[in-house]
Amino acid sequence: MRVNKSIIYLFLIFILTFHGCATTGQRQPTVIGERPHEYQQFFIELDLVVDEYMVREASDFQVSGFPYLRTNRFLEAMKDRVKGDSLEIWVEWMRQLDLKARKKEISNLPEDGFTELTSRLPDVSNRQELLAKVTDYSERTLASDRRQTDFYDAVKSVISIAGEYSMTMRTFGLYPLAAIPVTYATEKQYKIFRDWHQSPLESLPVDGNITAFTPAIHPVYSGQDISAIFDASRRNLLGLPDLSDNEIKALVLAYAPVIQQDVTGTFDLFGKVKWKNRHVNIAFENPTVYYYITYSLFKGEPAVQLNYSFWYSGRWGENSPGIERGPLDGVTVRITFDPDGRPVIVDIMNNCGCYYFYVPRKERVEKVLTSSDGLYPFVPTWLPNEFPRYRLGLRINSGWHQIQQVFAVETPPNTITYELRPYDVLEALPRAGGGTESVFSPKGIMKDSSRIEPYIFFSMGIPKVGYMRQRGHHAIKLVGRAHFTDPDLFDNYFIFK
């Protein structure tokens, strides 16, 4: 039977269009009446210049039709839970996210970009004035919008975050067929990881010198102090403790890991991220771990997470697969707490989103819910019982920078100390000649990172797969789809006690 080619073409166009629309997460902007023209025009001009000069801050996501709000996957998940007074906290959180992002965008605008902006906004003469006006107009626009009877429903209706997967790429790449060999390769890699994690630490191969890195010694909170931070009386209407900056720093320091790195060359020394000759550079002589706080769901309840991210100059050496080698590399380790402040699960990924795995506390897991293909969740080991009484230890191999074992360890002597710095500095990193620039593109890809993997794994639907990525933009599955910041990442696969 012969099939008309035009019918085939029309069918393909329909499939691509349908899937493309289904994965963008974009909706038509909600129009809020009675919003002063001056406020609207201000944000229009600001956004036009920010986009023209490609300084859009991408760690959080704009809310269509509400230029003074940005959101994330946790806040998106909360939209069906908030009501009454918690609605105000929810919206104010998004407004503060936007103000933080605007501050970075204004700082990162090059001089010619700021000059163009002042020509559009003649009553602004310097960046401080612009930031003050952003803050003022943000408050005024929110106050104006709140007078609308359907304001909160309007916000909820447009919050939808686009994923990091392209269905168009998967369609053209014949994903169902391509996923078969990728599934097989993933299972082989999982076996390697399991063997590492289930072997005695001393039996792991050593290619160079095992070098231990620890956080600089400062006073830390006791277990009693940490419990007080998470006390139920301190939780806001969203169910989360209101943490001060000092409390966040204390928690970050209290749980900062000991990193045992197998070092064969400078590419195995994580360091401070700097600009050098207009390129992202890792100053390995200054060991640095970047931290940030996120929120997720644990047993359906909001949970606090500490994230530790560190960066290498590249993935090189004999251990790393040839197709994965390239400039810049990194690891992120995340600790999730239950509502009482007890660490219940650690999850880990490379900063491309690759090699993601879970390390839960075994006695808190009643059942593991395995995916139909048997790949997920990948749990090569369990949290050591001695943690957090002792620090979390990470054994990392040379070149490939994979965590081969997770263990508990007393702070060892004769270690190299690393600095703990806020992740925010990466998104407005000072340049030697003045000004700042994010090390990430507006699409959440680390500048100067590159791999050949996109040519090989195109069919998996992740643009620039293998490249280093910004927080909020980590796709963590080649087969299937999931994001590091999905709030249901734990509850989907574990029934917790």
* pLDDT tens track for 258-305: 999 999 999 999 999 999 999 999 999 999 999 999 999 999 999 999
pLDDT band at 208 (very low <50, low <70, confident <90, very high): very high
pLDDT at 35: 87
pLDDT at 189: 96
229 and 204 Cβ atoms separated by less than 8 Å: no
pLDDT band at 216 (very low <50, low <70, confident <90, very high): confident
Given a cut of 80, whether residue 20 has pLDDT beyond it is no
Give percent of the chain above pLDDT 70.
92
The answer, yes or no, to whether the previous bond of 377 is cis (omega within 30 of 0) is yes
* pLDDT tens track for 70-94: 999 999 999 999 999 999 999 999 9
Given a cut of 70, whether residue 218 has pLDDT beyond it is no
Q: Which of 19-23, 215-219, 366-370 has the lowest mean pLDDT?
A: 19-23
Mean pLDDT of 476-483: 97
Of 216, 296, 212, give the one whose Cα is nearest residue 256: 216
pLDDT band at 171 (very low <50, low <70, confident <90, very high): very high
Cα separation, 237 vs 342, in Å, equals 21
What kind and span of H or E run contains 344?
A: strand 343-350
Given a cut of 90, whether residue 256 has pLDDT beyond it is yes
| Largest separation between any pair of C-alpha atoms in the chain | 78
Q: Which of 5-19, 133-147, 358-372, 428-442 has the lowest mean pLDDT?
A: 5-19
Q: Give the global pTM.
A: 0.93
* pLDDT tens track for 408-437: 999 888 899 999 999 999 999 999 889 999
pLDDT at 27: 43
pLDDT at 224: 75
171 and 19 Cβ atoms separated by less than 8 Å: yes
Reduce the secondary structure of 40-98 to three states and give it as a string: HHHHHHHHHHHHHCCCCCCCCEEECCEEEEEECHHHHHHCCCCCCCHHHHHHHHHHHHH
Given a cut of 60, whether residue 131 has pLDDT beyond it is yes
3-state secondary structure of 343: strand
Given a cut of 50, whether residue 309 has pLDDT beyond it is yes
* pLDDT tens track for 311-341: 999 999 999 999 999 999 999 999 999 999 9
pLDDT at 32: 60
pLDDT band at 227 (very low <50, low <70, confident <90, very high): confident
Given a cut of 50, whether residue 168 has pLDDT beyond it is yes
pLDDT band at 2 (very low <50, low <70, confident <90, very high): very low
* pLDDT tens track for 24-34: 334 444 556 67
pLDDT at 16: 42
Mean pLDDT of 112-135: 94
pLDDT band at 119 (very low <50, low <70, confident <90, very high): very high
pLDDT at 5: 45
Cα separation, 338 vs 86, in Å, equals 21
* Chain centroid offset of residue 41 CA: 32
